[in-house]
Structure formats: structure tokens, C-alpha cells
Amino acid sequence: MRKILFAVLMVSMVAGLVFAGGQGESGDSGPQFVTIGTGGVTGVYYPTGGAISRMVNAKSEEYGIRASVESTGGSVFNINAVLNGDLEFGIAQSDRQYQAVNGMAEWEGNPQSDLRAVFSIHPESITLIASVDSGIESVSDLEGMRVNIGNPGSGQLQNSLDVLSAFGMTEDDIQAEQVGAVEAPSLLQDGRIDAFFYTVGHPNGNITEATSGRIRVRIVDIVGSGVDELLARLPYYAEATIPASFYPQAANESDATTIGVKATLVTSANVPDDVVYAITKEVFENFDEFKSLHPAYAVLTPENMLQGMSAPIHPGAVRYYEEAGLIDLINPDLLP
């Protein structure tokens, strides 16, 4: 009899725990917590994630959602973390979104069918900063030089390799460093590297730091026939301009010409529709506030925030775009 009573008691306890867990997941016992993966704290991704979080948290009682932001290693980390369920949202470059969905680069032969797009954000230029004393005036001049090409897991690492390939080079042709973008300006100013790549929206604090130190630097043009071929081959790249006025202490006398991608917000097919709907609605219905957050957002329009995506659009975002009359601006191939 004691054994039977013990068994009944254990079953009752387990059932109670399962029921309690189910209550928490349904949201009855409190808000649903979501995390947005960004990038380094000095870049544009981090304040972007922070702004989105604040907008949603201002209406946490209405939506039943509490959002937070996390500084991460960048695009590849964010995509993988979203797909693994460690993050609900992540900011990632448009090229990385394309590669993940199509099973390229780090995802070679393994297309990420659960990746979903929400919207695009600001344009990001591939920026090559070099010390004047190094004599680097074009990408071809990087051969044999000490160059930071970006940390593993970052979008800029692949961008750097793509640019090198456009000039018939690989990382073996340079003395490649792979550290985070935040570290590169001090390395350049300390004379420990000759140049670094950084894919980023402008103006940017790290680039200001790099151009304002003891060692005089220039922003190198990324142009040439190989670049034209790269643009034709990889549709997520586009021509870009970096205004000289943003960095008056650089050696540039005119705007720098380069190529770039777009920052995008991604999520997983497993994230609930109502959560993605709330995120999307708050950004678009507070568009002027969002646009005022950073000079890199000056070119933003609701229309161009629906361009540059290659993953299927999450149904929660589609719901808002239908309500707002924006659905016709989206590539129909990306609609569910």
C-alpha cells in the first residue's frame, strides 16, 4: 500500500510541474521574453536592437512581451542563434541572410529553411581603412600587408574575402588578422596593422576613432573591373558612397566609392506570429522616431526597408504589411 501511495504522489507531482510549465509557456503567468542579437556595442546594430526593445517594452502590457538586447559576434552568430532558439531575433547582413537560405558559405550544402526575414534596416558599406604611410591606395596594394579582415562569425569577414577575390587575391596573399572591428582602430593607430576592413553604416564611431589618431589614414576606394563582376555575380551587393564630410580628419579629399550590403532583422519560423507582428508594427508605426536614432538611417523609407531580403517573410510580419498596405512592395516570391 505504501508503494502504491508513493507512486500516486510522484505522478501527481510530475503532472503539477508539467501543468505549471504549460502555464508559463502560454503567457498566463507573465510576459513572454524575447532577445534581439546585435553586434559590438560601438556599432550600429546594438543601438538598433536597443531601440526596437524600448519600443516594444513601452507597450509590454498590451503585447505581453518583454524584449532585451544582446551584444554578439555579428551576423553569422545571430543567424545560428536564432535558428537554434537561443535568440528570437537577430540583426544580420543581407548577404549572410542570402547565404544561409541558399546553403552557401558557412552553411554550404545545408540550406536554412527555418530562417525568416522581418525587414531591412540601413545600408552598410564595405570600408577599407589604411595608414597613409603604408602606401595603400587600392585593394591591390594590400598584398603582403598586415590587414584585419574581421573576426570569425562576422559578416565582414566574408565581405573582406569577397573584395580580395575581386582583385585576384586570398587571405594568403596578405598577413591576415581576424579580430573584432572594435579592436582594429587601436591596432592601426598603434602601428600593429597597416589596414582593416569594416562593413558598417556611416558615420561610425570606430571609423572616427581610426581617422582621428596620431597615424594619418585614408578610406580606400573599392573599385575596378573585378568589383563590377562581383556586383553582377552576387545580387546582395550594391554600389555605395562614404561621404568625406563624415570623417574630416581622414586624408580623403573626396567621397570614397565602394560597395555594400544591408542590415536586416531576421527570426525563425518557430517564433510566434504575434511576437513578430508586435516587433514589426512598433518599428513601422514609430518610423520617424526610429529613423532619428542614427545618421546611417537618414536614407530609410518604409519602401526600402522591404528590400534586400532573401529569406521568406515571417507570417507575423506579413500580417502587419497587409494591414498597412505595404504588401505590394515585397517580392512575391518571399511571401508565404
Rounded to the nearest 10°, the torsion over CA 314, 320, 325, 330 is -20
Q: Is the pLDDT of residue 24 over 80?
A: no
What domains sit in the chain, N to C, each tagged with a CATH number?
30-123+263-334 (3.40.190.10), 124-261 (3.40.190.10)
pLDDT at res. 29 = 58
- pLDDT (0 to 100) of residue 154: 80
CA distances from 101 to 96, 249, 336 (A): 9, 41, 15
CB 148 within 8 A of CB 178: yes
pLDDT at residue 17, rounded to an integer = 37
Q: Is residue 27 over pLDDT 50?
A: no
Q: Dump the DSSP string for 158-219.
A: HHHHHHHHHTT--GGGTEEE---TTTHHHHHHTTS-SEEEEEE-SS-HHHHHHHSSSS-EEE
Residues 303-328: pLDDT tens digits? Answer: 989 988 989 999 999 999 999 999 99
pLDDT digits (tens, 9 = 90+) for 198-245: 998 888 889 999 999 999 999 999 999 999 999 988 878 888 889 999
* Residue reference for cell 574630416: 248
CB 314 within 8 A of CB 267: yes
What digits encode the pLDDT tens for the residues 140-195? 999 999 999 999 878 789 899 999 999 999 999 999 999 988 899 999 999 999 99
**pTM for this prediction:** 0.74
pLDDT computed for residue 28 by the predictor: 53
Residue 221 has phi, psi (to 5 degrees) of -65, 140
Identify whether the C-beta of residue 38 lies closer than 8 Å to the C-beta of residue 72.
yes
For the chain, give the percent of residues with pLDDT over 90: 71
Question: Would you say residue 23 has pLDDT above 50?
Answer: no
**In the structure, how many helices (H) and strands (E) does the chain have?**
12, 10
Q: Is the peptide bond before 203 cis (omega within 30 degrees of 0)?
A: yes
Confidence of residue 5 (pLDDT cuts 50, 70, 90): very low
pLDDT given for residue 65 in this prediction: 96
Lowest mean pLDDT among 16-20, 94-98, 140-144, 176-180: 16-20
Split at pLDDT 50, 70, 90, the class of 9 is very low
- Each residue of 248-303: pLDDT tens digit? 999 999 999 999 998 999 999 999 999 999 999 999 999 999 998 888 888 889 99
**Spatial contact of 194 and 220, defined as CB atoms under 8 Å apart:** no
- The residue-averaged pLDDT of 70-96 equals 95
What is the grid cell recorded at 201? 553604416
Per-residue pLDDT at 22 exceeds 90: no
Single-letter amino acid, residue 324: A
On whether the CB atoms of residues 218 and 228 are closer than 8 A, the answer is no
Task: Please list the residues that pair with 66 across neighbouring strands.
Answer: 33
- Phi, psi for 231 (deg, rounded to 5): -60, -40
The secondary element (H helix, E strand) that includes residue 284 is helix 273-285
Beta carbons of 34 and 69 less than 8 angstroms apart: no
DSSP letter, residue 313: B
Distance CA 36, CA 75 (A): 12
For residue 215, count other CB atoms closer than 10 A to its CB.
Answer: 14
Phi and psi dihedrals of 168, rounded to 5? Answer: 70, 30
Least confident of 28-32, 59-63, 284-288: 28-32
13 has pLDDT over 80: no
Backbone angles phi, psi at 99, to 5 degrees: -65, -40
Least confident range of 57-66, 108-117, 154-163, 280-289: 154-163
122: Cβ–Cβ under 8 A, 6 or more apart, which residues? 44, 48, 201, 262, 263, 294, 296, 297, 299, 300
